[in-house]
Amino acid sequence: MFIRSKAHPFGRPLQTGTVRILLIVLYAFYPLGCILQLVAGGSVALGLAGVALVVAALAAFAVLAGSSLHRQTQEPESLLDEREREERNRASFQAHSVFSGIVLIGVLYMMLTADMAANGKLDLWRPTDGTHWNAIFGGLILLSFTLPGAVLAFGKAPVEAD
């Protein structure tokens, strides 16, 4: 998902370090916010802290969605030069491999926890209601939109100052 603006049709240019920080904020704050909301119980402070972290993660996503680096991962091939297409294709392949591994680990976890709970061996946490599944699918959607850009951002050497 790339958000094109009239002021920056090719995306807002962001330093690689800034993109990396925004990605770290997104990937750390979203799950932490969801976990805080899950364990909050009756605590309003924990619930609000969780909501604040999720909102901060979504704000980081909004900034990333308008960046020139994210444009490279979302533009049609006809609008990219040969170098950009090659980088994008390599990043997409690596992101697909990572995303598939994460989904596989999640499915295995859910399968094993359900099996162990059914046999009375070990009762670990597993999603039980809609809010749990919404948090999981929301995280997977954010990850799928940003992972190719993350591969590009963390694969690029930072620009050196002259």
Q: Is residue 146 part of a domain?
A: yes
Q: Is residue 112 part of a domain?
A: yes
Least confident span in 14-18, 65-69, 98-102, 108-112: 65-69
Task: Using alpha carbons, list the distances in angstroms from residue 23 to 14, 34, 47, 161.
Answer: 12, 17, 23, 23
117 is in which domain, residue-wise? 16-155
Is the model's pLDDT at 33 over the cut of 70? yes
Q: How many domains does the chain have?
A: 1
Q: Which position has the higher pLDDT, 28 or 11? A: 28
Rounded to whole angstroms, how far apart are CA atoms 112 and 155?
34
The predicted pLDDT at position 122 comes to 87
Only one residue has tokens 């680990």, namely 105
Q: Is residue 2 part of a domain?
A: no
Question: Do the beta carbons of residue 59 and residue 74 sit within 8 Å?
Answer: no
Q: Is residue 9 part of a domain?
A: no
Give the closest residue to 30 by CA, choosing from 112, 136, 105.
136
Q: Is residue 110 part of a domain?
A: yes
Measured at the alpha carbon of residue 25, what is the angle toward residues 160 and 17, in degrees to the nearest 5? 5
Is the model's pLDDT at 8 over the cut of 70? no
Q: Is residue 139 part of a domain?
A: yes
Q: Is residue 11 part of a domain?
A: no
- pLDDT tens digits along 67-78: 888 778 888 888
Q: How confident is the model at residue 161 (pLDDT cuts 50, 70, 90)?
A: very low
Is the model's pLDDT at 160 over the cut of 60? no
Q: Is residue 3 part of a domain?
A: no
- pLDDT tens digits along 42-94: 889 999 999 999 999 999 999 998 888 877 888 888 888 898 889 989 999 99
67 strand-pairing partners: 12
Supply the pTM of this predicted model. Answer: 0.83
Would you give the DSSP letter of residue 9?
Answer: T
